[in-house]
Structure 1
Amino acid sequence: METKTLPRQAILVVNAHSRRGQDNFNQAREKLEAADVELIAAHAVDDPEQMAATVRQAVESGAPMVIVGGGDGSMSGTVDELVGKDCVFGVLPLGTANSFARTLGLPLDLDGAVRAIATGQRRRVDLGMIDRDYFVNAASLGLSPMIGQTVPHKLKRYLGRIGYLIWAVKCSVGFRAFRLTIDDGVKERRLWSTEVRILNGPYHGGVELSDHAAVDTGEIVIQAVVGRSKPRLAWDWYAKFFKLRDRNAHTEEFHGRQFKLACHPPQKISIDGEVLAKTPVTVKIAPGAVDVAVPQD
């Protein structure tokens, strides 16, 4: 695993529409400057749809590091702009689940995250891909996209993961299992499933779901909750949340560089919390795609 020293200059881009973004923008700017990180510019972005364009401009301006503050959706929606560029991706976890930050071993508090950027190192990591769209951590299809697409913003903003749980119970009433086809180019598998997770890292929704997914393996992990039972899906989340010994009893994992996924009926796909695609899709790994800022240890 290759690591290098972090640059001392950066541009800060914060999603001020995220759960804690508005409150933390000024603090993040002050703490970064106090930690001797020279901010070339700092942007509080009120419209999440402008995040990618703001990061793109920052990268094109020649900034050696762009620090993005927000949730997993903000990270996934902006990381495309750094692929193939000599620019470090700094992560300030200001969202609800902060799965990518957990995967990188970053502190989830603002002081700790700033310290990692100011005193840490750069690390080359993989990204996942859904067709041509890069993502940092995880994508899912099944019940999760239904929750992500319909959950009221205020419920997510003020209750965090508990708000997701409450809404999940409501959404599960009308949800039905689907037929999943997984093709790795050598063998095709068909099975019933209630949820499929496409993992570049072990976390999804802030919960550690896989013992094998990581950002430096050169492989993508497809994890399917098998069968047609909704109570089994609920138990799977419960068992993984509390790390029970039989937490993998109802899931099957597939590891590889590329897969074709199809479902009957077709399923929407949530990419790091944002519903952006629909089956059928090609899923693959982009090895060593970006440099990220991580703690020294």
Structure 2
Amino acid sequence: MSEQRSKDEHTAAIRTDRKIAVVVNTHSRRGRRRFPEVLRLLDAKGLEPMAVHAVVNPKRLRQTLESALALGPDLLIVGGGDGTLSTAVKHLAQRDVALGVLPLGTTNNFARSLGLPLDLPGAAEVFRTGKVADVDVGMAGDRPFANLASFGVSVEVASRVRPWLKRLVGRAAYPLTALAVLPRYRPFRAYITVDGRRHELLTHQLNVANGRFHGGRKVARDMSIDDGTLVAYQLGSGKLLRLLLETMVRAVSGRWRSLAGGPFVVGGEMLLETDPPMAAEVDGEVRLRTPLTLRTVPNGLRVMVPAAFEDR
């Protein structure tokens, strides 16, 4: 972990020295189409980056991020969806560099959790008038994550959702794909141990969230990305009809109740076991398997946020 300046010092450095690097994922059609606009907006805001990288091949994203960081920027602006930003979080966690977010994805969960404008002009304005804040990073085993670790039907949904459907209907592509997958999906039993207490449930889907949003919708009204806790919650139960109905309701309304009264398990660290053992989807990447320990790193990431953001 690098030694960090105070947040005020870091904010002042960004505004005064303008040491900025930019990485935009142009592999997606939206990223490719909006890339010229990104450059025009930064120029209009008086921001002259030290370097600008357009990533055409996703396999080169990690290498490109490291090349940009090697220049020593105070602010690394990253344009892309939640998968791109999750990769950036892995590189920036616990470093003295702030992440600037250009939301170019379908659901933009991370940007929503930070209270960022979802339009590019508004997001770019944050780089000029915003402030540096510290937010939490989730850890699944030894892998940092920004938003969500998921278990169950979502792993299959993530592998089956079609890019053309995402372009056509946006974030609704995920619950629509889930409705096609669910009829033949069988429930599993999950065991979550927090502070010595073991919780057991039968479900088709379990999520462990760090940020406030899932599928572009709030997980809970009073959840935060900087409260030092993870929130585990199931979608539906072991009953398929209930899950189908809940999936449709979430697609339309997307509103959970308060953490205090909702079906949530909350903690700074939790051990998750499943029967049978199963794959984990961590911010869109299927790399790990249960049993798995998940925890938070409080204030593990520096980000550029609107001046009104409540930094705890």
Provide the C-alpha distance between the structure 1 equivalents of 2:208 and 2:102, rounded to a whole number of angstroms.
23
Are the counterparts in 2 of residues 148 and 275 from structure 1 also a CA contact under 8 Å? no
Aligned to 1:95: 105
Deviation per CA, 1:55-81: give whole Å up to 9, x if none.
122112211111110001111112111
* Alpha-carbon distance in 2 for matches of 1:109, 1:201: 20
Q: How does 1:68-83 map to 2 (within 5 A)?
A: 68-83=78-93
1:253 aligns with 2:264: yes
* In 2: Cα distance, 1:229 partner to 1:19 partner: 38
- Structure-2 separation of matches of 1:215 and 1:165: 24
Tell me which moved more, 198-207 or 236-245: 236-245
List runs of 5+ in structure 1 lacking aligned partners.
none
Residue 166 (structure 1) aligned with residue 200 (structure 2): no
Most deviating of 261-270 and 283-292: 261-270
| d(CA) in 2 for partners of 1:158, 1:44 | 24
2:38 maps to what in 1? 28
Contact kept? 1:9, 1:37, Cα under 8 Å: no
The alpha-carbon deviation at position 253 of structure 1 amounts to: 0.9
Give the alignment's Cα RMSD to 1 decimal: 2.2
Where 1:172 maps in the other structure, the secondary structure is: helix
Query: What does 1:145-164 align with in structure 2 at a 5 Å threshold?
Result: 145-164=155-174
- Deviations along 1:199-234, one digit per CA (max 9) or x if unpaired, are 112201111122343111111111123521123223
Q: Is the 8 A contact 2:217 2:255 kept in 1?
A: no
Match of 1:282 in 2: 293
How is 1:1-297 mapped onto 2 (pairs within 5 angstroms)?
3-4=7-8, 5=11, 7=14, 8-225=18-235, 227-240=237-250, 241-242=252-253, 252-297=263-308
How many residues are paired up?
A: 295
CA deviations on 1:59-112 (whole Å, 9 max, x unpaired) are 122111111100011111121111222111010000000001011010111111
* Pairwise CA distance, 1:251: 6.1
- Provide the rounded CA distance (Å) in 2 between the counterparts of 1:57 and 1:21: 20
Letter in 1 for 2:53: H
Is 1:9–1:64's contact at 8 Å kept on the other side of the alignment?
Answer: yes
Structure 2 vs 1, CA of residues 220 and 52 (structure 1 numbering), >3 Å: closer, same or farther?
Answer: same
Q: Is contact 1:12–1:42 with CA below 8 Å preserved after alignment? A: yes
CA contact (8 A) 1:19 1:95 kept: no
- Tell me, in whole angstroms, the C-alpha distance in 2 between the residues paired with 1:251 and 1:235: 18
Residue 295 of structure 1, CA deviation: 1.0
* Structure 2, gaps ≥5 residues long: 1-5
Deviation track 1:224-255 (CA, whole Å, cap 9, x = no partner) reads: 2352112322333444451568799x962111
Residues 93, 137 of structure 2: 8 Å contact kept: no
TM-score by length of 1: 0.92
The one-letter amino acid of 2:124's match is: V
TM-score (norm 2): 0.88
Q: Partners of 1:20 and 1:70 in 2: how far apart?
A: 9
CA distance in 2, matches of 1:238, 1:127: 30
Query: Is the contact between residue 18 and residue 94 of structure 1 (CA under 8 Å) also seen in structure 2?
Result: no
Match of 1:263, as an amino acid? T
Look up the equivalent residue of 1:39 and give its one-letter code.
P
SS at match of 1:38: coil
Q: Could you tell me whether the CA contact under 8 Å between 2:175 and 2:247 is conserved in 1?
A: no
Supply the distance in 2 between the matched residues of 1:234 and 1:200 (Cα, whole angstroms): 25
Aligned equivalents of 1:227, 1:120: Cα separation in 2: 42
| Cα distance in 1 between the residues matched to 2:144 and 2:290 | 16
How far apart are the structure 1 equivalents of 2:172 and 2:182?
16
The 3-state SS of whatever aligns with 1:173 is helix
SS at match of 2:46: coil
